[in-house]
Structure 1
Amino acid sequence: MVANISRVESAVIDGRARTPRYIQRQLFALHDALSRSLPDIARSIASDGAVGTAEAWAEIAKTMEVVKLEYANVNPAQCIESEYSLARGKENAQRRLPYGCAFIIPARHTPFYSIIQPVCASIATGNCVVVEIAPSASAVARLLATIMAAVLETDTFAVVDQLPAIPSSLRGQVVVVDGSGKTARDIGRGAAIYLETPHSRTVAVVDRSSNVRAAAKDLVRSRMCFGGTSPYAPSLVLVNEFVLDDFCRAATESLTSLLHSTGSTQGGKPRRGGALDSSVQKAVDQQEAEMIVSTAAGSIVVLRSR
């Protein structure tokens, strides 16, 4: 691990990852390697949790689209034009330089996307990349570690069990992307930017002027899909009282339809969200909340008391 970090540190200082042709080669190699491993990736995603085959392939499709888009956005001709603009007497006010290196801690939700998307974005912007993938990580994360380490240049890319402290020579040149939401280490000390996945509760608001049926359908899906593990899945929905009954009916229909089309389990595993939060269960027991519908996969509860 120390040797890998040292090589990446040298590459950051040299600016080795900045040239457009180098970026294209890295993105092409990554896309090619992923394309050849898609069946294994799909099986790994499905084996990691309450995610069905359809959701696994949906995540894969979105992720592969990101890789292709990042590759398509690289324009070597434009980069050369920009580089030599001053020599031709032209201003280059739009010139942008990469920070140097990205330290990435993947999220547990949609691990395939949460690893590949920041890796591709970092490569496409001319940064070196260091990804933390522990031996105890998910099956798809370990598989990706093997795939990426085999095809990406070891001078500008490294996979480590645990991210080290930012070297003094790279202070102010590292962007930390922390998708875990609960890193207690001082990994961000010395970073130029620290991007962290929110781990607070997500609240949705349904106003009386909303399209109630569309809102109910989208909110139910966001709560139920991918095992309900998304940090952006709403934990609480605030509904205007004038449309509350309509919303409850629409949400019940959407939940029933979703469970009928996908089943209350995916891949033979129970979906997260069946058990009520203890405070909500207490409110139901004390008749301060009304249970609208309850299933093994999730429930709809109206809290009457504020």
Structure 2
Amino acid sequence: MAAELRDIRSAAIDGRMHNAFFQKEQLKSLHDILSKNVTEIQDQIGKDHRYTQAEASVEYWLALRCIAEAYKSIDPKQHLQAEYAIAKSKDASDAREPVGIVVVEPAQHTFFYSLISALVPALVHGNCIIIQAEKTLLESPKFILSLIESALDDHVFKVVYSQLTGEEIASRHTRIIQKQDINPRVIAIIERDADLQLAAKAIASARFSLRGKSPFAPDLVLVNEWVKKDFLSALVQHTSAFISDTVPKDPVQKLSKSRFHDTILKENLGEVVFSTSEGYILNVKNR
């Protein structure tokens, strides 16, 4: 593996990504190829994660906006002034030296946007990039990585599918680790003085958007007794806007939900406040 990274190390040492014009060229190339494949990217994301068209579009456009904003932020004149400040006997106290190589371990959730949001800033700050990806049966990560590989110079961007050690990289580097090894429970707390409509809308959106797979989707909501009734009413109202019976059904998932409902009711642990084929809200009474 060390030999395969020779080009990346060489580019990091000679500072190839330090040049502002080269940075803009790379970002333009990346933006162009992603723009040409907009339909394919959104379709792949939607199929892999069963997102709605709107959800796939949001992830796509957020990623492209990240590239566009980074491109606009690059000022070649300012780069030149900073580069030759010392030679012209000027203070360069704000000068910054790039790390050299940035190793990105992208998250599986919203893979496209997560990857771009780490990749682009690292490039703009003069670093070469290594993507340490996981082998997966999903189609969108492989397709997206292949597009990025074709857009960027192969001396500044590399994709690997194995765990890299510092000895293999053999150059100054840092890691951006986005993936989560565990899925901790997310708990939301609704205080007595909370804006109930705003809180209900935020929780419904976080829990039921993106198929409920967001790492920020609350698993449990603790509500102050004084506002519990009003909050449940608001939550049902806003949840209805996010759940649709037109989403393709999973027979196995429907069966497991039905059994869960039966368990809650049979053991008198609580009551089902709202339920559809895509999700439900439980009012837990026996704690």
Normalising to structure 2: TM-score of the pair? Answer: 0.89
Unaligned runs of 5+ residues in structure 1 are 183-197
1:229 aligns with 2:203: no
Which residue pairs with 1:6 in the alignment?
Answer: 6
198-207 vs 278-287, which moves further: 278-287
Query: Judging changes above 3 Å, is the alpha-carbon distance between structure 1 residues 279 and 78 closer, same or farther for their aligned structure 2 residues?
Result: farther
Question: Secondary structure at 1:103's aligned position in 2?
Answer: strand
Match for residue 225 of structure 2 among 241, 246, 259? 241
1:131 aligns with 2:115: no
Deviation of 1:265 after TM superposition, in Å, equals 5.4
1:112 aligns with 2:112: yes
Question: Secondary structure at 1:131's aligned position in 2?
Answer: strand
Distance in 1 (CA, whole Å) between partners of 2:265 and 2:10 is 60
Describe the superposition over 1:137-186 as per-residue Cα deviations: whole angstroms up to 9, x where unpaired. 52111111211111211111011222421236646x3222222212xxxx
Deviation of 1:295 after TM superposition, in Å, equals 2.1
Distance in 2 (CA, whole Å) between partners of 1:272 and 1:65 is 38
1:174 aligns with 2:167: no
Deviation of 1:11 after TM superposition, in Å, equals 1.8
Describe the superposition over 1:181-217 as per-residue Cα deviations: whole angstroms up to 9, x where unpaired. 12xxxxxxxxxxxxxxx74222222222221011101
Residue type of the alignment partner of 2:185: R
283-292 vs 3-12, which moves further: 283-292
Match for residue 184 of structure 2 among 191, 200, 220? 200
1:214 aligns with 2:213: no
1:34 aligns with 2:34: yes
Deviation of 1:219 after TM superposition, in Å, equals 0.7
Which residue pairs with 1:43 in the alignment?
Answer: 43
The 5-angstrom pairing of residues 11-30 of structure 1 reads 11-30=11-30
Is this contact kept in 1: 2:187–2:218, CA < 8 A?
Answer: yes
Deviation of 1:62 after TM superposition, in Å, equals 1.0
Query: Judging changes above 3 Å, is the alpha-carbon distance between structure 1 residues 93 and 150 closer, same or farther for their aligned structure 2 residues?
Result: same
Question: Secondary structure at 1:144's aligned position in 2?
Answer: helix
Residue type of the alignment partner of 2:217: A
Count of residues paired in the alignment:
285
Query: Judging changes above 3 Å, is the alpha-carbon distance between structure 1 residues 12 and 250 closer, same or farther for their aligned structure 2 residues?
Result: same
Deviation of 1:135 after TM superposition, in Å, equals 4.5
Distance in 2 (CA, whole Å) between partners of 1:108 and 1:75 is 33
55-64 vs 198-207, which moves further: 198-207
State the superposition RMSD in angstroms. 2.6
Residue type of the alignment partner of 2:205: R
Is this contact kept in 1: 2:132–2:160, CA < 8 A?
Answer: yes
Residue type of the alignment partner of 1:232: F
Distance in 2 (CA, whole Å) between partners of 1:221 and 1:44 is 23
Describe the superposition over 1:51-101 as per-residue Cα deviations: whole angstroms up to 9, x where unpaired. 111111111111111110111111111122222222333322222222111
Deviation of 1:231 after TM superposition, in Å, equals 0.7
Distance in 2 (CA, whole Å) between partners of 1:199 and 1:166 is 27
Deviation of 1:271 after TM superposition, in Å, equals 11
Query: Judging changes above 3 Å, is the alpha-carbon distance between structure 1 residues 284 and 85 closer, same or farther for their aligned structure 2 residues?
Result: farther
Which residue pairs with 1:99 in the alignment?
Answer: 99
Question: Secondary structure at 1:237's aligned position in 2?
Answer: strand
Describe the superposition over 1:241-284 as per-residue Cα deviations: whole angstroms up to 9, x where unpaired. 2111111001111112322xxx2454x355999756x9998665
Question: Secondary structure at 2:153's aligned position in 1?
Answer: coil
